[in-house]
Structure 1
Amino acid sequence: MARIEVRAEVTGKVWKILVPVGERVDAEDPVMVVESMKMEIPVSSEQGGEVVELMVSEGDAVEDGQVVAIIQT
């Protein structure tokens, strides 16, 4: 089993977490939404698997490239 790091692609604020820990996602499914410059940007997993850890909470500030979640395949 591989652990995949899901990274924010923009600097902004976590607006909404869409997938809780323990839930499965498919490749390209959005895990959360980051608000940046009044735009809502989905943060998606590159591969399918189970969300095993969320590194941020709603309302947290995130930086471009920051790990926001871990997916286990």
Structure 2
Amino acid sequence: MEIQAEMAGIVQAVLVSEGQAVEAGQDVVVLESMKMQIPVASPAGGTVRAVRVKPGDFVNQGDVLLELDT
């Protein structure tokens, strides 16, 4: 499962690492858009397979932030 950016912005923080277990609803990335910090939550529980972004990266809506094995 891919977790995608819901809006364009700059990655402020990546809150998980590859191999880490996450729960549904857990914040995994924080984006900044229009001077607001927007947490991105995992839609399902699972294990982080790959983190595709790092702090400082600019992302567009629909870009993959991380991949999750559910």
Quote how far apart the aligned CAs of 1:50 are: 0.5
| Structure 1 residue 22 corresponds to structure 2 residue 19 | yes
Letter paired with 1:49: G
**CA distance in 1 between partners of 2:29 and 2:41 (Å):** 7
Structure 1 unaligned regions, length at least 5 = none
TM-score by length of 2: 0.95
SS at match of 1:41: strand
| Structure 1 residue 59 corresponds to structure 2 residue 60 | no
SS at match of 1:20: coil
TM-score by length of 1: 0.91
Structure 2 unaligned regions, length at least 5 = none
**What is the count of residue pairs matched by the alignment?**
70
The alignment yields a C-alpha RMSD, in angstroms, of 0.7
